[in-house]
Amino acid sequence: MKASAPIATSPIWPEAPADPPSGLARSQHKSPGETAAGRSAVTERASKARTPKRGQPDREPGLKRANFGRGAGLPTLLLLPQVLILVFFFFIPSLRALTQSVLLSDPFGTTVHFVWFDNFKALFASGEYRQSLVTTAWFTVAQNVITLAIAVVLAFATDRVVRARSVYRTLILLPYAIAPAIAGILWAFLFNPVVGPLAHMLHALGISWDPNRNPNDALWLVIMAASWKHICYDYIFLVVGLLAVPVSLMEAAAVDGAGPIRRFFLIALPMLGPTIFFLAVMNFIYGFFETFAIIDAVTHGGPAGATNILVYKVFVDGFINLDLGSSAAQSVLLMTFALICTLLQFRYFEHKVNYGV
């Protein structure tokens, strides 16, 4: 590196002009003080030219060592679109939900009363809401277990086979492209009690199947559709994770006499622990929120509220029954849940570092 370029190596840039004229003129600009500091930095750098750049401790996390200095004008402009959208469509609505959840208003919004936590109390007192809670719990847990179990088995098999691996992977990943609503419609047809081919098989086996009338059947139908749509997501993360398990470890275990299945359960799976944890959280988020489309396209929350999961109830109470206070209170409870999920995801990041997979 030439000594004629001292500024380039000083760790913190001098005040960056917001809009300097382009051209080479800038590199000529230097003050005596900077030059001295710069030169010492040059010699320091030259002496350890091949060492990694980690020499300087980061003074601010997530900031480039070579940055554009302290000017606040340009970064503000750059951040403006994101922040404006967040304020309008995220922070203000969230605040509205919080305030509405402690208010009671009639459907036309003419009278508004401040009612403290009555909306929440009413929610927990209502059998409908408790039923919705139980339904959601069943729905998400069943969906989670089915999705993960199938994905783990498929990922294990994918890791073993050599021939046609990419063909299998492509096919199994296909549902990712399919909208939840469409996945729901496909399964609604397969299990339609009148024309559905799979429903016909069930009937032939002597099982009375009718998701339009039987609450349990309806719940299973949406669980199947939701799992079918989501297996691909868990699957690809597990496949990628398995690739990262050190081969030497597997070989050592094999030499010690552990068979492939035992190795999978005792080595690969524990090393994938953080990934599986992450996937479980993602499955819960998916089950709680994104499955709205499946419910709306297939069962409309029925029959008899059997598939009325929480997020669907927020929608029905807010937009159809126009019970804004109750809907907002439910929104707030859901937000709390989403918050917990995000914090759990944070823990995943920590674990990820510890395990190194």
Partner 1 sequence: MVERAPILDMICHAILIAGAMLVCVPLYFAFVAGSLTIAEVQKVPLPWLPGDQFFANLQTAWVKADFSRSFLNSIVVALGITAGKIVVSLLSAFAITYFRFRYRMLAFWLIFMSLMLPIEVRIVPTFEAVANAALPLQWLADMLHVADLWKWISGHDVAIALEWNMVNTYPGLILPLIASATATFLFRQFFLTVPDELCEAARLDGASPLRFFWSILLPLSVSNIVALAIILFLFGWNQYLWPLLFTTDKDMATAVIALKNLIPRSDSEPAWNIAMSGALLAMLPPMLVILLLQRWFLKGLVDSSK
Min CB(244)–partner 1 separation in Å = 11
C-alpha to C-alpha distance for 297 and 284, rounded to whole angstroms: 20
Long-range contacts of 185-188 (CB under 8 A, 24+ apart): 185/297, 185/298, 186/225, 187/221, 187/224, 187/225, 187/228, 187/298, 188/221, 188/225, 188/297, 188/298
Count of residues in contact with partner 1, rule CB under 8 A: 129
- Interface with partner 1, residue 124, by CB under 8 A: no
- Interface with partner 1, residue 314, by CB under 8 A: yes
Collapsing DSSP to helix, strand or coil, 161 comes out as coil
- Interface with partner 1, residue 334, by CB under 8 A: yes
- Interface with partner 1, residue 54, by CB under 8 A: no
The H or E element containing residue 114 is strand 112-114
Segment interacting with partner 1, rule: CB under 8 A, options 89-97, 114-122, 123-131, 134-142: 89-97
Contact positions with partner 1 (CB under 8 A) in 241-300: 247, 250-251, 254, 259-261, 263, 278, 282, 285, 289-290, 292-293, 296-297
User: 34, 37, 38, 74: which one contacts partner 1 (CB under 8 A)?
Assistant: 74
CA distances from 216 to 16, 34, 72, 160, 196 (A): 66, 75, 59, 37, 18
- Interface with partner 1, residue 175, by CB under 8 A: yes
Radius of gyration of the chain (CA): 29
Nearer to partner 1, 160 or 347 (CB): 160
- Interface with partner 1, residue 180, by CB under 8 A: yes
Region of 291 please: left (phi>0), alpha (psi -120 to 50) or beta. Answer: alpha
Min CB(113)–partner 1 separation in Å = 18
Min CB(134)–partner 1 separation in Å = 19
Min CB(317)–partner 1 separation in Å = 9
Nearer to partner 1, 76 or 216 (CB): 76
User: 3, 5, 36, 112: which one contacts partner 1 (CB under 8 A)?
Assistant: 5
C-alpha to C-alpha distance for 80 and 139, rounded to whole angstroms: 40
- Interface with partner 1, residue 70, by CB under 8 A: yes
C-alpha to C-alpha distance for 215 and 103, rounded to whole angstroms: 34
Task: Report the candidate in 148, 137, 86 with the shortest Cα–Cα distance to residue 282.
Answer: 148
Task: Report the candidate in 287, 269, 310 with the shortest Cα–Cα distance to residue 230.
Answer: 287
Min CB(107)–partner 1 separation in Å = 13
Segment interacting with partner 1, rule: CB under 8 A, options 118-126, 133-141, 215-223, 307-315: 307-315
- Interface with partner 1, residue 86, by CB under 8 A: yes
User: 106, 130, 319, 321: which one contacts partner 1 (CB under 8 A)?
Assistant: 319
The H or E element containing residue 187 is helix 180-190
- Interface with partner 1, residue 113, by CB under 8 A: no
Q: Is the dihedral of CA 13, 19, 24, 26 positive or negative?
A: negative
- Interface with partner 1, residue 226, by CB under 8 A: no
- Interface with partner 1, residue 207, by CB under 8 A: no
